Structures are given as structure tokens and as C-alpha cells.
Amino acid sequence: AQSVTQLGSHVSVSEGALVLLRCNYSSSVPPYLFWYVQYPNQGLQLLLKYTTGATLVKGINGFEAEFKKSETSFHLTKPSAHMSDAAEYFCAVKGNNNDMRFGAGTRLTVKP
Amino acid sequence: EAEVAQSPRYKITEKSQAVAFWCDPISGHATLYWYRQILGQGPELLVQFQDESVVDDSQLPKDRFSAERLKGVDSTLKIQPAELGDSAMYLCASSPLGDSGTDTQYFGPGTRLTVL
């Protein structure tokens, strides 16, 4: 079975600073990895996903993530934080079936 | 852009009452999911439909929860009777195929349930 661990339930950065949200996964098969963002009282919106091919994945809103098999990681980054990036971020993993497992989430706060 | 629709957005009920949530997936999507998200946690799958058939309901508390997707399009999730511990966000998602790991799930805005 697949699982993910998101390191840090709360991350705070200053506007314009680097955003780094950490995700480590466990999977017995080659994983498919996803990052979703959730704004208060809303559903989840897909930021980016890794399936096969290039290990550096670019998503919406300037976010990107790099799949590192040797480290079993899929960390999410953005070079410069914006106030509108404040939200909850979820990492998720799937195997060959459609069983999506989510992490507990990381709340990103952006300080002016 | 097509979206997953859910209603109601908010529901307040008293324990022991019955509640129902509705979901309309993106047109043409074969697979529909219901998730429960407890405050401060990630979503957890309750039930997955492929067209009108249940594919996975292993985490659905069947003594009080039921779900149906009669015509393979929209779906209803019901709780009867509601308990205090059912307070959560109920999310519906859909995906085009459902039989591939690469298939992306698209989420609706959710229904926030508060049980008093």
C-alpha cells in the first residue's frame, strides 16, 4: 500500500521568500505523485502531478516539484511566495490502481 | 471549464437526524469518489463508483452511511443517523477513466457538515 508523510504541519514564510513544502512517500510500485492546494472551505485543486518521464514537474501558479526516487521525496517549491499562496497543501500518492492516499497537509502562511 | 458540483455547501443538523449530500461530476467522467476530510487532516476515501457500480466501499461505515449512483451520473451520499463524530467536510471527486494510476481526480467544493 502507498502512503505519504508531509513534514511540517505548518510553514510560515515572508512574501517574496522561497516556499519549500516537504513530502516523502512510500510505495511498493512506481508511484504517481500529486500536489493539491485547498483554500478555506473549498475543494482541492490540482497543482501538479508526476506520472512518468521528466522528474522536474511544473505546475500552476509558479509551483514545481521534483521526484527523487533515491530519497523517496516529492517536495513542492516556489521561488517567491505571494500572499495569495496562503492555503493548505496536500501531497498524495497512487499506485497502479486508483487508490489515492493523501498526507495530513501543510498549512502555508505568508507574512507581508 | 467544467467543474464538479456539490450541494449543499453547508449543513447543520442534530445528532440522530438524517442528512444527504449530492454530487454532479464532470460530464463524461466514469469514476466518482466520495471522501471525508476531518478538520486538520487529509481526505480519506469513503466510496468509489465506476459508472453505477461500487468499486470500493471498504472504508464506508455501512451501518449508517449509504451511497448510490443509480444512472452512473450524479450521486447521493446519505448518513442516517448522524453522530457528533460525523462533523467533517465531505468531498466529491470525479475522474475520466478511473482505471489508471495516472488518472487525475477533480474535486468539488465540498459540503461542510456540522452535527450538534
Residue given cell 472504508 in the structure block:
B59
The residue in chain A having the minimum alpha-carbon distance to the alpha carbon of residue B97 is A98
- What backbone torsions phi and psi does residue A55 show, to the nearest 5 degrees? -85, -15
Contacts of A36 in chain B (CB under 8 A): 107
Distance from CA of B99 to the nearest CA of A (A): 6
Q: DSSP per residue over B67-83, as a string? A: EE-TTSS-EEEEESS--
pLDDT of residue A77: 98
Give the nearest partner residue to A43 out of B56, B95, B108, using CB atoms.
Answer: B108
Determine the Cα angle at B43 with ends B109 and A36, to 5°. Answer: 65
- Give the separation between CA B39 and CA B10, rounded to whole angstroms: 15
Q: Do A99 and B56 touch (CB under 8 A)?
A: yes
Indicate the pLDDT class of residue B2, thresholds 50, 70 and 90: confident
Q: Are A66 and A74 a contacting pair, CB within 8 Å?
A: yes
- What backbone torsions phi and psi does residue A67 show, to the nearest 5 degrees? -85, 120
pLDDT of residue A97: 67
- Strands (E) in chain B, as ranges, are 5-7, 10-13, 19-24, 31-37, 44-50, 53-56, 65-68, 75-79, 88-95, 106-107, 111-115
Q: Do B98 and A44 touch (CB under 8 A)?
A: no
Q: Do A43 and B56 touch (CB under 8 A)?
A: no
**pLDDT above 70 for B99:** no
Q: Are B28 and B96 a contacting pair, CB within 8 Å?
A: yes
pLDDT of residue B100: 62
pLDDT tens sequence across B35-76: 999 988 999 999 999 999 999 999 999 999 999 998 889 999
- Where chain A has pLDDT below 50, the residues are none
Give me the amino acid identity at A106: T
**pLDDT above 80 for B19:** yes
